[in-house]
Chains A and B, each alone.
Chain A
Amino acid sequence: MLYWTRECPSVRSASRVLRFLRHEPFAVAGGAIYFVIVVVAVFADELAPYDPRAILKLGSRIARYQPISAQHWLGTNSSGRDVLSQVIWGTRSALEVGLTAAIAVVAIGTVLGLLSGYLGGWVDRVITWLADIVLGLPFLPFMLVLAALTHPGTGIVVFSVAALLWPNTARVIRAQVLSLRERAWVEAARVTGCSTTRIMFVHVLPQVLPLAALYGSVAIGWAILAEASASFLGFGDPTAISWGVMLQEAYANQALSRGAWNWFAPPGAAIMAMVLAGFLISRGSERLLFPKLADQ
């Protein structure tokens, strides 16, 4: 069996990866952004100049709305907290929400896509029907209503992303499985007496994982955008230090009429950079995974 697995197209030689890095500046840029964000998240304690929750004083008064200065590179907010420290700490909650939601949505999408593509028949019909219903649910309103009816927080965000965004992944995985199913090595596995479950999860699944990872890198972005929107509308976790909560606080505390760009521009830019990184990576690696598209 191992012989067949080694033939799999997802295992690439090192030279090919090197060539990829040289020819795909987009993917490299995306990877670099992720690298920076992960490093910042890991070393947030050391990197943040202040405690992000500390209310800073200026003499005896609270240091509200401080402009950009040497002490506060991005100034302070309306409650006297350091903006840069909050942006730095925000990387942690962004990665947390993004990764959990992405893993959940890709896991659901991959398993359902695999089942419906490989088994076909009524399983396929039921899953396709489920996907159609889910595509009929508006994402943001669904998340809002659910948060209002249960309890607001990041759990609802992750659940909504996982429950509503899986059809995209499932559809692509299904299409890929439909073609893989007919390959000789699947036939070989069947002839040697492998069970259906074994063929699906041991032989076919590894083949579609790179594709699933591709969708995962985009799903991280959707999850972070979802968290930001939920927080902005007041349905996030208000105690968390996240970019979405920062934007909500800025909007609610007249940062806009005060022109406090230093407060609300950085967290939004951070969200944009992280979501963009996912787009760039998926665009770049598409060509690595599907060389046929390379001439586009």
Chain B
Amino acid sequence: MLKHALGRLGHLVLVLWAVTTLTFVMFRLMPGDPTLNFLSPSFSEETRAALLKSFGLDRPMWEQYLIYMANLLRGELGMSFLQGKSVVVLLGEALPNTVILTVVSLSCAYAFGVVAGAFLAFRRGGLVEALAIPSALATRAAPEFWLGMLLLTGFAFQAGWFPTGGALSPGKELGSFSTSLVSGDYWWHLALPALTLMLYLQGLPLLLMRATMLDVLNDEFIVMARMKGLSRWSIVIRHAARNALLPVVTAFALGLGASIGGNVVVETVFAWPGIGRLLVQAVQTADYPLAQGAFILIAAVLVLMNTVADLAYALLDPRVSFGAKR
């Protein structure tokens, strides 16, 4: 197990290196003068000179690459064109909002999906199944931002129950993130984007839970439990569900990594100040240092969560042995 974990960590580092290298290549392949692309004309002469030097933008490409890697390791991502702020600071401000949105919507989606999926596995056939499965598939098929537009029009613009965008009402900027977190206003703003994402995300755990439950319900230990005369619910909850949860847990970890990047459109629809919206704004305004930083952060979270999912799977499932001593 330890050997496997170390192997996965080594793998993680390799993939991170490959992804960041690819990012470097992508951002250097763009047309135009790279110096201009990374230094805003609005910066003062001194700032430009200092940045030019610290990023080695006048050096040959391979030296730039080494400097880029060294900067990444030190957590230095450069200056955004936006008010000349540091990219790290901007990302740091946006990341908590994205994490809150993702964790809240994903947790609700999985809580709902697991219960509904287990219920559907239990009640095979009939009208419930005939309606539930196509609708679960349909929510996965709908574009997230369109779901957001429907909810926004219905509940915010027409009913007026929820705000139409942003994370705080105008004039309520309270400063630090922790103060806004305890304000009801923040959660009121979170409701619609989180609901949109939840609607979009619940289909996968639902279908997954149903499929694995059906699988598990045919297993020998369930037959055994039934023969022992245990009640139906006891079998479903205490025996089947626990075993069926494994793939769902893995999917949750994978979903966490994917959602951080996948939130892009939902954050844009609701003007939610997260990483995804920051990336879109950076890309739209040709703010390349910020776009590069946001992209690397999103990719790093994705790679990290892929590894976590893999480790969780190995840890939770005793049948996975990874060629260890038997």
Contact = CB atoms under 8 A, between A and B. Distances in A.
A233 interface: yes
Contacts of A67: none
Contact of A233 (B152, B158, B280): B280
A8 interface: no
Interface residues of A, number: 49
Given A132-B11, A145-B26, A247 B149 contact: yes
B141 A279 contact: yes
Given A132-B15, A229-B265, A259 B158 contact: yes
16 contacts: A138-B258, A138-B261, A138-B302, A141-B295, A145-B27, A229-B145, A232-B145, A247-B145, A251-B145, A256-B153, A265-B150, A268-B146, A272-B143, A273-B141, A279-B141, A280-B134
B235 interface: no
Interface stretch (B239-247, B283-291, B314-322): B283-291
Contact of B264 (A132, A140, A247, A278): A140
Interface string A43-67: 0000000000000000000000000
B30 to A, nearest CB: 4
Interface string B75-95: 000000000000000000000
B303 interface: yes
Interface string B120-163: 00000000000001100110111111110110110001100000
B73 interface: no
Q: Which of A136, A221, A279, A280 has the most CB of B within 10 A?
A: A136
Given A145-B291, A225-B143, A279 B283 contact: no
Nearest to B18: A133
A159 interface: no
A235 B283 CA distance: 10
Q: Is the contact region of chain A dominated by helix, strand, or loop, or is it mixed? A: helix
Contacts of B158: 259
A188 interface: no
A133 B157 CA distance: 43
Report, as a range, how many residues of chain B touch the other chain.
35 or more
Q: Which of B145, B158, B291 has the most CB of A within 10 A?
A: B145
A234 interface: yes
B153 A261 contact: yes
Interface of A: 26, 29, 132-133, 135-142, 144-150, 221, 225, 228-229, 232-235, 244, 247, 250-251, 256-257, 259, 261, 264-265, 267-268, 271-273, 275-276, 278-280, 283, 296
A25 B196 CA distance: 29
Contacts of A296: 211, 214-215
A274 to B, nearest CB: 8
B18 A271 contact: no
Given A148-B283, A261-B153, A136 B142 contact: no
B16 interface: yes
Given A139-B261, A233-B265, A264 B15 contact: no
Given A145-B291, A148-B286, 10 more contacts: A133-B15, A136-B15, A136-B302, A141-B264, A148-B291, A150-B30, A259-B158, A264-B153, A280-B134, A296-B211
B200 to A, nearest CB: 11
Given A149-B26, A149-B27, A138 B150 contact: no
Contacts of A29: 134
A229 B144 CA distance: 9
A258 to B, nearest CB: 8
Nearest to B264: A140
Contacts of B102: none
A145 B19 CA distance: 14
A26 to B, nearest CB: 7
Nearest to B146: A268
